[in-house]
């Protein structure tokens, strides 16, 4: 259901994807009146619809790990709290390596995780088949396994947040495109849309791959650039057990996971383009099929039944951009660089805390500020 536009509201959230949904929920929990504005007729049709749903706490730094751990920890009680099933399957993340240098990177990731309790550990090549017997082990020099990680249904998580936000009084206007952000004296005063204007003192840019275009409305150039990635889906494929971990074959640039009796796989493409060009280039399927065969010869029996493409919005350091901007009242929660599902819970919570209290309570937000990309000033 789409709500009419109010004349005035405390905060406008631009975008009803998983991040805008989390943002709306957490802002309403903090007592703000919230309007979510979404240009499409339904929520979650952008990057959120394209995601593989992986939730992993494997990162190379403590902060990204702690953000991901909060999302992972929220999964078991999510349905109880929000009324929607996240369908979290804790089947693990298995990162295989074909090069010693990749194994060294995994060791660093596993070490970074020990302090935070990710549960990730290194595996010898002999141990890998115990976790994923279908893999072809030729060329595999070792692996890292995160047994507590897994994959969810991003739609369920997003809808949980959105329905809870609505219960808290949030309004959601679909088929409404933000066309401008109004400012006066360097601070936000409202938004202009194709259906009229709304006055507000706070705007949060949760526009996913469109975040750079939205930021340009206040003359900000943010380094969050959309890159296309494809997912190819096999027909029914019981050869991969339903409990298989998500396998990421880093040196082959390939991953796969079971999904509803099929297998979804990606050649981990990073094709920079316009945010709305999500057309599938079927010619990419050949390369993905080759990678699949290198990973597990059983995939010679598979064929692709369908495919989709979506945008991952990458920043130069592959970390999200959260928090304030030089324009008072204009905040960012974007540039998730391929891990917006992993970090959706704290991303909304921490930015909402920053907006309402001027600081984040337990998780630091400052390292994610836009200001980290500023050129150091001479003298
Ligand atoms: C193939 C693929 C696989 C992925 N797999 C994973 C994974 O396994 N794990 C993981 O953590 N992440 C994954 N990701 C990344 C994840 O999908 C994103 O980080 C996440 O969905 C970002 O959510 P969002 O809400 O910021 O963006 P979106 O879902 O794109 O939502 C943004 C919304 O803003 C709306 N909007 C934009 N501009 C305007 C405007 N001017 N006015 C009104 N509305 C506007 C859009 O219509 C859209 O609905 C994957 C991405 C892809 C493409």
Strands 54-55 and 34-37: unpaired
Over residues 145-184, the pLDDT tens digits come to: 999 999 999 999 999 999 999 999 999 999 999 999 999 9
CA distance 332 to 342: 17
Q: Whose CA is nearest to atom 19 of ligand 1?
A: 340
**Which atom of ligand 1 is found nearest the CA of 48?**
21
Q: How far is the CA of 339 from the centre of ligand 1 (A)?
A: 10
Pocket lining for ligand 1, CB < 6 angstroms:
14-20, 37-40, 45-48, 50-54, 177-178, 206-210, 214, 229, 231, 310-312, 334, 336, 338-342
Q: How far is the CA of 319 from the centre of ligand 1 (A)?
A: 15
Domain ranges of the chain: 11-50+155-224+317-373, 93-147+226-313
Q: How far is the CA of 348 from the centre of ligand 1 (A)?
A: 14
Confidence of residue 4 (pLDDT cuts 50, 70, 90): confident
Confidence of residue 357 (pLDDT cuts 50, 70, 90): very high
Q: Give me 367's structure tokens.
A: 């390292």
* Average of per-residue pLDDT across 19-29: 98
| pLDDT score of 51 | 98
Q: Report the complex ipTM.
A: 1.00
CATH placement of domain 93-147+226-313: 3.30.9.10
**Which atom of ligand 1 is found nearest the CA of 231?**
1
CATH topology of domain 11-50+155-224+317-373: FAD/NAD(P)-binding domain (3.50.50)
| pLDDT score of 376 | 63
pLDDT > 60? residue 377: no
- How does the average pLDDT of the chain come out, rounded? 97
49, 193, 208: which to mutate for ligand 1, most atoms within 8 A of CB?
Answer: 208
pLDDT > 60? residue 379: no
| pLDDT score of 150 | 98
* Average of per-residue pLDDT across 312-321: 98
Contacts 24+ apart (CB under 8 A), 124-132: 128/94, 128/96, 131/92, 131/94, 131/245, 132/94, 132/244, 132/245, 132/247
Confidence of residue 3 (pLDDT cuts 50, 70, 90): confident
Q: How far is the CA of 18 from the centre of ligand 1 (A)?
A: 7
**Which atom of ligand 1 is found nearest the CA of 49?**
29
165, 175, 207, 268: which to mutate for ligand 1, most atoms within 8 A of CB?
Answer: 207
Percent of the chain predicted with pLDDT > 70: 99
With 0-12 / 13-18 / 19 or more C-beta atoms within 10 angstroms meaning exposed / middle / buried, residue 134 is: middle
Over residues 178-230, the pLDDT tens digits come to: 999 999 999 999 999 999 999 999 999 999 999 999 999 999 999 999 999 99
**Which atom of ligand 1 is found nearest the CA of 228?**
53
Q: Give me 295's structure tokens.
A: 């990973």
| Distance, first Cα to last Cα, the chain | 55
Residue 33's nearest CA partner among 231, 200, 265 is 200
* Average of per-residue pLDDT across 52-61: 97
**Which atom of ligand 1 is found nearest the CA of 342?**
11
* Average of per-residue pLDDT across 272-294: 97
| pLDDT score of 215 | 98
CA 229 to chain CA mean position, Å: 13
* Average of per-residue pLDDT across 329-345: 98
The angle that helices 344-357 and 62-74 make with each other, rounded to 10 degrees, is: 110
Topology match between the domains 11-50+155-224+317-373 and 93-147+226-313: no
| pLDDT score of 2 | 80
| pLDDT score of 375 | 73
| pLDDT score of 191 | 98
């Amino acid at each position: 259901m789409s709500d009419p536009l109010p004349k005035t509201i405390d905060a406008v959230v631009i975008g009803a994807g998983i991040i805008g949904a989390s943002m709306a929920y957490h802002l309403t929990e903090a007592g703000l009146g919230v309007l979510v504005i979404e240009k499409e007729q339904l929520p979650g049709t952008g990057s959120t619809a394209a995601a593989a749903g992986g939730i992993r706490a494997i990162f190379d730094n403590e902060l990204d790990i702690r953000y991901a751990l909060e999302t992972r920890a929220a999964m078991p009680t999510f349905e109880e709290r929000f009324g929607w099933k996240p369908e979290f399957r804790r089947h693990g993340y298995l990162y295989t390596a074909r090069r010693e240098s990749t194994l060294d990177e995994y060791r660093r990731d596993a070490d970074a995780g020990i302090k935070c309790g990710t549960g990730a550990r290194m595996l010898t090549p002999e141990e890998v088949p115990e976790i994923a017997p279908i893999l072809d082990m030729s060329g595999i020099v070792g692996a890292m396994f995160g047994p507590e990680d897994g994959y969810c249904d991003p739609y369920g998580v997003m809808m949980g947040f959105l329905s809870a936000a609505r219960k808290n009084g949030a309004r959601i206007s679909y088929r409404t495109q933000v066309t401008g952000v109004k400012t006066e004296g360097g601070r936000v005063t409202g938004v202009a849309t194709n259906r009229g204007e709304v006055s507000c003192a706070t705007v949060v840019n949760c526009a996913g791959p469109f975040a750079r275009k939205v930021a340009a409305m206040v003359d900000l150039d943010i380094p969050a650039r959309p890159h296309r990635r494809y997912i190819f889906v096999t027909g029914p494929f019981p050869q991969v057990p339903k409990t298989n971990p998500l396998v990421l074959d880093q040196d082959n640039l390939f991953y796969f996971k079971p999904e509803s009796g099929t297998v979804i796989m990606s050649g981990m493409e990073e094709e920079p383009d316009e945010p709305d060009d999500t057309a599938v280039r079927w010619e990419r399927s050949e390369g993905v099929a080759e990678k699949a065969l290198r990973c597990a010869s059983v995939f010679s029996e598979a064929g692709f039944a369908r495919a989709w493409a979506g945008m991952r919005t990458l920043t130069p350091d592959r970390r999200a951009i959260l928090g304030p901007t030089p324009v008072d009242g204009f905040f960012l929660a974007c540039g998730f660089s391929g891990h917006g599902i992993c970090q959706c819970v704290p991303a909304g919570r921490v930015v909402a805390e920053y907006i309402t209290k001027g600081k984040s309570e337990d998780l630091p937000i400052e390292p994610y500020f836009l200001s980290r990309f500023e050129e150091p000033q001479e003298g």
